[in-house]
Amino acid sequence: MKTSPTIIENVSSPMLRPALVLFTVLTLICGIVYPLVVTGIGKVAFADQAAGSLIIHNGKTVGSRLIGQEFSAPQYFWGRLSATSPMPYNASSSGGSNFGPGNPALIDAVKGRIAALKAADPGNTLSIPVDLVTASGSGLDPEMSIAAAYYQAARIARERKLSVEAVRAMIDARQLTRSMGFFGEPRVNVLELNLALDQKP
């Protein structure tokens, strides 16, 4: 038995209008109103974070507090390794190497970083902190542990003709505490610390 087209039209017409109205209302709410409200709240309550936590130096944007940068010159602090490709700290390719602790490639990378640290500061007898020889899971870590900063203080002091005490004081002054008092560990932002070094007379 064939269904009459008239019956189909009579059944569909009452359903079409509410569907279109619902589609339009949800599009306005979810596609326009909600994004505008959330963006507005973000800009008012979290202006710095909503703008990307950018670091402005001498009127120029030099980076973000959330994304690391590569430093290799001996007069600068070196941050964590980055396993992103095709270049370190590539924000569009965030991720770790996924190498296990026994992977030869990881072991070679650690040995290479240890060799570089020792070559840059042969007289340093301190234990090398693990975050100076391993990459973070994101590959974008902008911070390092206080121990990692202290380890490099003697090299920085020598290269910049400063006292070790002065360099350590700069580290202490920029130390970030645990989030909410118990999340994470005390740390320091590498870029902000290096910018402070460049401003040191």
The span from the CA of 16 to the CA of 22, in Å, is: 10
Is residue 120 a contact partner of residue 57, using CB atoms and an 8 Å limit? no
In terms of domains, do 66 and 165 share one? yes
CA distance 79 to 189: 9
**Residue 83 sits in the same domain as residue 169:** yes
Mean pLDDT of the chain: 88
If asked whether residues 63 and 90 sit together in one domain, one would say yes
Counting the structural domains of the chain, the total is 2
Are residue 40 and residue 58 in the same domain, yes or no? Answer: no
The pLDDT, as a whole number, for residue 6 is 53
d(CA 31, CA 25): 10
Structure confidence by residue, pLDDT tens digits, 41-73: 988 888 777 777 888 888 888 888 999 999 999
CB 197 within 8 A of CB 170: yes
Model pTM score: 0.77
Give tens-digit pLDDT for 141-167. 999 999 999 999 999 999 999 999 999
Q: Quote the domain boundaries for residue 173.
A: 54-199
Is the domain of 92 the same as that of 63?
Answer: yes
